[in-house]
Structures are given as structure tokens and as C-alpha cells.
Structure 1
Amino acid sequence: MSAHVTKMAEPDNLEYYITFPNSNFDYKNQNGESDFVFVVDEKQVPVVILFGWAGAEDKYLSVYSKIYEEKGLITLRYISPVKYLFWKQHRMVKIGEKLVKLLNDLNFVNNPIIIHCFSNGGAFQYQFFSQALKLSPNPMQIKGVIFDSAPGKRRVLSLFRAIRAIKGGNVLLNLPICFLMTIFFSTMWIFQIIRSYFVKKTNLQMNPLENLKNEENKWPQHFIYSKADVLIPYEDVEYFANYRKSLGIDVSLKRYENTPHVRHYPDNKVSYIQSVCSFMHKCLNIHT
């Protein structure tokens, strides 16, 4: 069994979950298909950071982390508070800085790191984490990024659907609330756009996905998405991936035809695991 630790830090609600492999984990004689076995330096075990989608619960995100934990890797899960993602975005800067500090405190500076982010909420948090990395006195060994159901452009309809998914419950009863929240956040978006013309440093908060498109980091990126996703259109993901590829980034894609938003793994476990593990092998550049 793996050791599971939960910690909290104030004032920015940095609640995260970290799982270390058992000290007796046998990296050389793992069970399962040989294609899914990671051969790693046991003194610098790879770390997978998972950034959850808006409104996610850790019990759901932990399902994904088990993919990596079963291979003896360290996982760190973090879900940004919904209020930070939608109307307190300035707090995301501090969250990014605290996450980088946490990696330093855990002495993960020399460990290979893979980031797995879900939906626009996870991609949003990844952006501020990436920005904070530039300020770190100790450069991290980021090897690659996986985008699951992301990134997508800002759209009012997508915002409405996202709010409705987060609220859950009876669709008809929640419809007026979701509608009013959509109007409120759409108004805030417009305000941010106007404000950005006068205050340059608000650019990161205004449109994170456009900034991700041109981020300086060159590590490989893998996109898992679906043509049936009604929250993040597949055209958005392919546009983003092709743009990054045009900049010389190593880009790979796994497209499904019928799976809903952030449901690619539950509905396609074998191919999903094959997809992420193949990307991991490439990023870690393992020599056998």
C-alpha cells in the first residue's frame, strides 16, 4: 500500500493530496503488461502532478492518479477552488507560487515531473504554475504536459454548461441560477478585457488559454479529447495543438469519437492508459 498524506496551508486554501510509493515497490519486476512498466531511477522517482477540473472532488481525481501510483510513481493532486477560477483569479498567482514552493520543500527539484491537467480549470491552474516556475531559484525537471478535455476558448454557452455541470441537481430548478451566474461571469469577462487595455499585468487573468498558446516552455504536450465533448469543442483542442506544433513543440493527440467531457478514461480504460503511459515513456526518455 502507498502512504497517503493530506495537508492544508493558509490563507490560500492549498489543500493537496500526495501519494508516495511503498518503499518495497519492485520497479524491476512489476506486474502487468510490459508496455505499461516504467523503469526509473529509484532515487529520483518521477512525479505526476494532477490539476483537477472546476468543481472536481478528490475522490474522482484519485481514480486517475492510481494509473501512475500502480507504476510506482509519486502523485500530487490539486483542485483549484471554483471561486478562484471564476471570480478571484488574482489568487491563482499565489497558488502557483505555493505549488512551486511545495515542490522545493519536498525536494523534488531533480525528480522528473509530468503534469496532467483536466478541462479549462486544470489548464488555468497549470498556466499560473508554469508562470511561477520561471521565478523559482531552482529549475524543475518538467518533462511533459497532458491536457485532458482542454484547452478551449471562452464561450458564453460553454460557460453556462460548465456552471450547470458544477451545480448539478435538478436541471430545471437550477436553470435560473445558472443563467444568472452566466450573465454575471460574462460581464466580468468583458470588464477584464476592458481593464487589460489599461493595466498590462492583468493579461494573465484575462485570457489564460491564449497565453498558454504562446507560453515559452517547450516540453512535449499530449492532448486527450473527444468529438462528442459539448464543453470543449474538439476543434479548439486541435487548433491549439496544431498551433503549438507549428512552434516546434512535440505534440501528440488521442481523439475519441463518443465520450463526454472528462469521461475519456472511465469509458476507454485500456486505450486511455496506453495513451498516457506511451507519452510518459517518451517524456522520461527511458533507455533500456
Structure 2
Amino acid sequence: MTSKVPPGLEHFSRLNQAIWYHQPTTTSTTEPDLVLLVGWMDATPRHMSKYAIGYEKLYPSARILIVTTTQVDAAFRTHAANLKRVKPAVDILYTLPHDTKLLVHFFSNGGAFTTNMMAKAYKEKMGRALPITAMILDSTPGRATYEATIRAFSVALPKNIILRILGILFLRVFFILYKLGYWLQGKMDLVDKARMDLNDKCLFDIDAPRMYIYSVADDMVDWRFVEEHGEEAKSLGYTIDREKFLKSGHAAHLLIDPDRYWETVQRLWSSVS
């Protein structure tokens, strides 16, 4: 049975279970040619439609490409399976001219994970960094701390109290084994790897300014981790700006103050257009 299309995405094409694409017929010299929206872990198309609607109002001539990521994608799928998931999106990115106007906007550590994977696939095939004009890091990057990770994965647990308790117990054991596995292999975990990759000049050109949007009230990604990453990026030569909310939850800044949120997006884009 075909799932109901969320309001706001009726005119989008669904390329696979994870990807939606909108291609307007108009063009503009000042708007982005393409907005790449990469959702947080378990963000649904309905969640992402709120951002798509906002971008259509701001930049009606921009193409919009939405990519979603689930807990299974981030924690359990193989690299090959994840590449297959994002293939329709990466195939579109391959066709972009080097002087394209590309705005990349991703959310949380799940979005950072998928964005990095697409950037690496692009670099491997094209031999250069993804031609990003500007980038928004929304509620990311954090670190894989114990409590924050449990909260992030608990979001999708059943509401039934017994099943929820069992699920949380499983997650606590899983987290310990997860960290232990990476430690025994002498490797960074996925979140720390994502932090490092986001400041890799081979993947993300320093000419693309970036906006960090985050909140003191975020209980999944500590605002200090976000600011720390921004300072590291700045020291490497990236141009950064920050919009620090005080009361919004994780990836929920748009819900608290939509005017401020979209003004922040416009501020970044006006700096490059």
C-alpha cells in the first residue's frame, strides 16, 4: 500500500524510500540552484516537509532534494547498503556544474553521517569536493556521550511502558558494546568520525561559509560541542557564523521561532549571493 504523501510534498517526486525531489520550472540568478536537505535520524518526510515549504517560500526557483536517515541506516546498515540508499541523490549531485549554487542544510548527527557519506562518494567519483556554496549545520555535530545517545535512540521506541523500558535497557547495553567495539579496533566512533570529516578540506571546501544553528536547551547535542567544532573549523580557515537559541529542543529551532530561523538562513545565503 502506498503511504500517504505529507502535506507540502505533493509536487515532489519520490525517488526511493529515503529521497524526495522537487524541480521547479523557473530559474533565478540569486537563489540557490539546489537545496540539499538531509534530515536528522528518524526524521520523517512529514518532518522534512516543514523545511521544504519554508525553502520554497524563500527560494521558489530552487530545486529541493530531501534525504532521510533512520536508526537502522546509521547503526546497522552496511556501507554498501547506505550508498544504495543515497544513490539517487548522489547521482543528481554528480550532474551539478562546478559553478552551481548549492545550499546544503543537514540536521543532527544522523544528517551529518549521511552528508559526509554523500560528500565522500562525490569526491571518489569526481575527484574534487562537492561544490557547496554555503552550508547549514543544524543541531550538530555533537559527541557520542552515553546519555545523549540513549535519548537519541529512545525517540523511536514504543510508547508502551514495558516495551519502552526493555528498549532502553537494550540501548544501554548496545551503547557499551558499540563504544567497546570501536575502542578495541582503535577507531573513532561514527559521531567523532563525522565531526572530523566535516572539517576535512578535501570533502568540504573552505570557500563555503557555514552557519551553525543550535540551542542551549538541546538535550541530545550539547551546545558546547557545536561551538567547539565551529572554532576548530574557523582555525582551519572556514568562515563560520552561529545562531544560538536558548529554549528550543533538538532540531526544533524552527518550531520555537520560525521568523528568526528563516532570517538566519537568509543571512547565510545573502553572504554568498
TM-score by length of 1: 0.80
Alignment of 1:83 with 2:91, yes or no, is no
Aligned-residue Cα RMSD (Å) equals 2.5
Candidates 221, 245, 248, aligned match of 2:210: 221
Give me the whole-angstrom Cα distance separating, in 1, the residues matched to 2:200 and 2:85.
Answer: 19
User: Aligned ranges for residues 101-140 of structure 1 at < 5 Å?
Assistant: 101-104=91-94, 107-109=95-97, 110-137=99-126, 140=130
- Aligned partner of 1:4 in structure 2 is 12
Gaps of 5+ in 1: 28-37, 198-202
Give me the whole-angstrom Cα distance separating, in 1, the residues matched to 2:159 and 2:27.
Answer: 45
Candidates 9, 32, 40, aligned match of 1:53: 40
With over 3 angstroms needed to count, the CA separation of the structure-2 counterparts of 1:143 and 1:257, relative to structure 1, is same
SS of 2:176's equivalent in the other structure is: helix
- Aligned partner of 2:23 in structure 1 is 20
Give me the whole-angstrom Cα distance separating, in 1, the residues matched to 2:248 and 2:160.
Answer: 23
- Aligned partner of 1:153 in structure 2 is 143
With over 3 angstroms needed to count, the CA separation of the structure-2 counterparts of 1:129 and 1:257, relative to structure 1, is same
Per the TM alignment, residue 159 of structure 1 is displaced from its structure 2 partner at its CA by: 1.0
Question: Which ranges of 4 or more aligned residues in structure 1 deviate by more than 4 Å?
Answer: 93-98, 170-173, 203-206
Give me the whole-angstrom Cα distance separating, in 1, the residues matched to 2:185 and 2:77.
Answer: 15
User: Aligned ranges for residues 195-274 of structure 1 at < 5 Å?
Assistant: 195-196=185-186, 205=190, 207-216=192-201, 217=204, 218=206, 219-274=208-263
CA contact (8 A) 1:164 1:175 kept: no
Alignment length, in residue pairs?
256
Residues 183-192 or 267-276, more deviating: 183-192
Give me the whole-angstrom Cα distance separating, in 2, the residues matched to 1:7 and 1:81.
Answer: 17
Per the TM alignment, residue 80 of structure 1 is displaced from its structure 2 partner at its CA by: 1.9
Alignment of 1:164 with 2:158, yes or no, is no
Give me the whole-angstrom Cα distance separating, in 1, the residues matched to 2:223 and 2:216.
Answer: 5
CA contact (8 A) 1:147 1:221 kept: yes
Alignment of 1:62 with 2:33, yes or no, is no
Percent identity over paired residues: 21
With over 3 angstroms needed to count, the CA separation of the structure-2 counterparts of 1:20 and 1:98, relative to structure 1, is closer
SS of 1:166's equivalent in the other structure is: coil
Per the TM alignment, residue 98 of structure 1 is displaced from its structure 2 partner at its CA by: 5.4
SS of 2:30's equivalent in the other structure is: coil
| Cα-to-partner distance string for 1:152-201 (whole Å, 9 max, x where unaligned) | 0111111111111122524564022122123114312321232246xxxx
CA contact (8 A) 1:147 1:222 kept: yes
Per the TM alignment, residue 273 of structure 1 is displaced from its structure 2 partner at its CA by: 0.3
Gaps of 5+ in 2: 1-7
SS of 2:41's equivalent in the other structure is: coil
Residues 137-146 or 215-224, more deviating: 137-146
With over 3 angstroms needed to count, the CA separation of the structure-2 counterparts of 1:191 and 1:267, relative to structure 1, is same
Per the TM alignment, residue 62 of structure 1 is displaced from its structure 2 partner at its CA by: 1.2
With over 3 angstroms needed to count, the CA separation of the structure-2 counterparts of 1:168 and 1:268, relative to structure 1, is farther
CA contact (8 A) 2:34 2:65 kept: yes
SS of 1:111's equivalent in the other structure is: coil
Give me the whole-angstrom Cα distance separating, in 2, the residues matched to 1:271 and 1:234.
Answer: 18
With over 3 angstroms needed to count, the CA separation of the structure-2 counterparts of 1:210 and 1:271, relative to structure 1, is closer
